Amino acid sequence: MDLLHLGKKDSRLLNLLQQSQQWRRLDTRLKQIMPANLRAYFEVACIEDGCLIVLAANNMASSRLRMIVPSLLPQIQNLKSDITDVRIKVVPKQPVKVRVNSLQLSSAAAARFLESAEQLEHHPKLAEALHNLAKKHGKL
């Protein structure tokens, strides 16, 4: 989504959007330098006093990054000249909660869907969908 058109109306928003793009570019370029099997497990956070802060998703990624980063520091400095050091912090990702559909149709609604499905001979796909809906979510 291109949000820059919104930034044209507000200079502060434009500044934030540009900074966000810079961080995403730095993150992408850093991931290109790192081994492919690590790329999904870290992201660039910020630069504090010349120190690039990288957030690792778990201890395994953190320890691998800590071993690899010193040898890659010259390449990292080529990405952004004001980087003098890299610090790795572990910030575990929260697991995605699985949503369970607990909704059910009342028996009257399910019966109406079944009746409607029987009357829709001229629309067989719709009739089948209504029938499946009634069977799946109804109290029959």
Rounded Cα distance, 114 and 97, in Å? 33
Q: Which fold has domain 3-90?
A: GMP Synthetase; Chain A, domain 3 (3.30.300)
Q: pLDDT tens, 82-138?
A: 999 999 999 987 888 888 877 778 888 888 888 888 898 888 999 999 888 888 877
Residue 88 Cα to chain centre, angstroms: 21
Q: How far apart are CA 10 and CA 136, in angstroms?
A: 50
Q: Which amino acid is at 88?
A: I
Q: Mind listing the pLDDT tens digit for each residue in 16-40?
A: 888 889 999 999 999 999 999 999 9
Q: What is the pLDDT of residues 66-76, one digit of tens each?
A: 999 999 999 99
Is the distance from CB of 41 to CB of 56 less than 8 angstroms?
Answer: yes
Crossing angle between the packed helical segments 124-137 and 107-119, to the nearest 10 degrees: 160
For 94, the 3-state DSSP assignment is coil
- Per-residue pLDDT at 90: 97
Q: If DSSP codes are grouped into helix, strand and coil, which group holds residue 127?
A: helix
pTM (global) more than 0.85: no
Domain spans in the chain, listed from the N-terminal domain onward: 3-90, 107-137
Residue 138 or 47, more confident: 47
Looking at residue 3, its pLDDT comes to 66
Q: Averaging pLDDT over each range in 3-12, 49-58, 87-96, 118-127, which range is the top one?
A: 49-58
